[in-house]
Amino acid sequence: MSIFYEGPATPSQNPVHRLIKKFTNIANIPLANLSNRGLFFEGFKTHVVMCGFPRSGTTLCQLMIQTCAENVQAFPKEERALRVTKYVIKREPTVVSKRPNDIFDIDQIRDCYARFPATPRFVLFTRDPRAVLTSMHENLPGEYYVSVERWKSIWTEWTRQAQQEDVLTIKYEDLVQHADHVQQQIASHTQLKFTQPFTSFHQNVPAGFDKAALNGVRPLETKSIERWRGTQHQTRIAEILETFPELTDRLIDLGYESDDAWANEYRGKLQDKAA
């Protein structure tokens, strides 16, 4: 199994380091363009861009691919796909990057690769919005990680891109409950070759991999699917329903609910609390 693992991808806040990275990017352009034509090493063919809703499995799936696929070039931290496209020298047939906000760059990424034989393949992740909006992150302790406004902006772009031929959509719930099936879907969509099952991902985590978004690495578990139902999140969900009543429609659109009856439990919670 061949996996080329890039060094740290997140730039330092040090201005000198940022300047060095800027000049390095510029210097890399000629070789990056040649590698985009498949002229180096193993012959670059596919850039797998994983994006979509945050807290929906992009980091988990990136780790699965890195530990279970062959001939993959990857990054230990989030790396903007546009930078990978323009400035990174491709050393393997497949490059994998993940960054939820890359969903807003999909059209630009397509345009960049339009002049090369290599092609992008987009994997868009989603998850029950109630779980996303009540999710926590190690880097933001004690606070909810995703705002309603951020969720809504991603939803607008997600619905626009989801039906495109170069896009595969994956639900977080399917990834953790039916990992083998999702692995087959990704293999078919990206032409990745896997040597191990996704379920073994936790056994060989690359050194330096940023595990913060996972809140720790462990075997697949399903209890996170229903975590939003915890009593500690009731006020949060009640507040969301008050300011974002369309949430009930979005849950139906995504197939998580067939009607809005689930919301009855939360309606009036804020008034009750105030009383």
pLDDT in tens, 101-125: 999 999 999 999 999 999 999 999 9
- pLDDT value at residue 42: 77
Pairing of strands 167-171, 94-98: unpaired
Task: Give dist(CA 73, CA 95) in Å, integer.
Answer: 5
CA atoms within 13 A on the CB side of 89: 14
66 Cβ contact list (under 8 Å, min separation 6): 3, 5, 72, 74, 96, 206, 209
Task: Choose among 225, 162, 194: nearest CA to 66.
Answer: 194
* Coil vs helix vs strand at 95: strand
**What are the structure tokens assigned to 92, written together?**
């393997």
Pairing of strands 94-98, 119-126: unpaired
Q: What is the DSSP annotation of 41-90?
A: TT---EEEEEEESTTSSHHHHHHHHHHHBSSEEE-SS---HHHHHHHPPP
Reported pTM: 0.88
pLDDT in tens, 233-267: 999 999 999 999 999 999 999 999 999 999 999 98
Task: Give dist(CA 84, CA 97) in Å, integer.
Answer: 8
- pLDDT value at residue 1: 47
- pLDDT value at residue 6: 53
Residue 237 and residue 273 in contact, taking contact as beta carbons nearer than 8 Å = no
Task: Give dist(CA 94, CA 192) in Å, integer.
Answer: 7
> CA 109 → CA 19, 23, 166, 168, 187, distances in Å?
24, 21, 12, 16, 21
- pLDDT value at residue 20: 72
- pLDDT value at residue 23: 64
- What's the burial of 62, exposed, middle or buried (CB within 10 Å: 0-12/13-18/19+)? buried
**Reported CATH class of domain 3-220:** alpha beta
Q: What residue ranges of the chain have pLDDT lower than 70?
A: 1-13, 16-17, 19, 23, 270-275
Residue 31 and residue 87 in contact, taking contact as beta carbons nearer than 8 Å = no
> DSSP secondary-structure letter at 205?
P
**What are the structure tokens assigned to 5, written together?**
């693992």
Task: Give dist(CA 250, CA 29) in Å, integer.
Answer: 42
Domain boundaries, the chain: 3-220, 230-275
Q: How many helices (H) and strands (E) does the chain have?
A: 11, 6
- pLDDT value at residue 164: 97
